[in-house]
Amino acid sequence: MSTPQEPSTPDRTWGAAPAGPARPGWSPGRKIAAGAVAAAIVAGGGAAVWAASSSAATEQQAGGAGGMPGGPGLGTTLHGEYVASDGNGGYVTKITQTGEVTALSATSLTAKSEDGFSKTYTITAEQATGLATGDTVTVVATESGTTATATSVTDGEAGPQAPGGGQGTPPTRTG
């Protein structure tokens, strides 16, 4: 048989506050110092957010990263496909391509990128105005099935990549 034993600390209850002197609170000087450090951190974070948003706005005004038409983050992208909201709760597949015009009519444009990728787009007569075979263009199009319809055609030579650096937004043909 076993004999019940007394607990080793009979005066302590599970979960009770530990015995001993209470720790002193922060002094007024320590509270002020902590507040100053917190204020400096908040001000630094606000300045960082402001700087980041200012550079993003400048990048967008210049036609995107690297001065290329097409939007921020596209930089030196030759071609790509992405999905975007259609504004009505659905989605639409979009294509972007930068390349040389290899064929052009009043209703279609074929562009060939530096890596050899080639695609034909349905365009409007307004979008074709002023373009010629051999021009460098950036095309943004929507794709439905096998048909790619240009929503904008930007003449790359007239934009930021033109000799002399080009200023402002490149001309865009929409419609």
For residue 60 the two structure tokens come to 């967008």
How many domains are contained in the chain? Answer: 1
**120: amino acid identity, one letter:** T
- CA–CA distance, 17 with 20 (Å, rounded to integer): 9
pLDDT at 127 over 60: yes
Burial classification of residue 99, based on how many CB atoms lie within 10 Å of its CB (0-12 exposed, 13-18 middle, 19 or more buried): buried
Report the C-alpha gap between 36 and 41 in whole angstroms. Answer: 9
pTM of the predicted model over 0.75:
no
* Residue 44 belongs to some domain of the structure: no
Report the CATH number that the domain containing residue 138 is assigned in CATH.
2.40.50
Domain membership flag for residue 146? yes
Residue 10 lies in a domain: no
| pLDDT at residue 78 tops 80 | yes
**Mean pLDDT of all residues belonging to the chain:** 75
The angle at the Cα of 81, spanning 78 to 84, to the nearest 5 degrees, equals 130
Please write the tens of the pLDDT for every residue from 133-165. Answer: 999 999 999 988 889 999 999 887 444 333 333
- Residue pair 109/61 in contact (Cβ under 8 Å)? The answer is no
Domain of 76 in residue numbering reads as 65-174
CA–CA distance from 19 to each of 6, 10, 26, 91 (Å)? Answer: 20, 13, 21, 65
In a domain, 156, yes or no: yes
Task: Evaluate whether residue 145 is within a structural domain.
Answer: yes
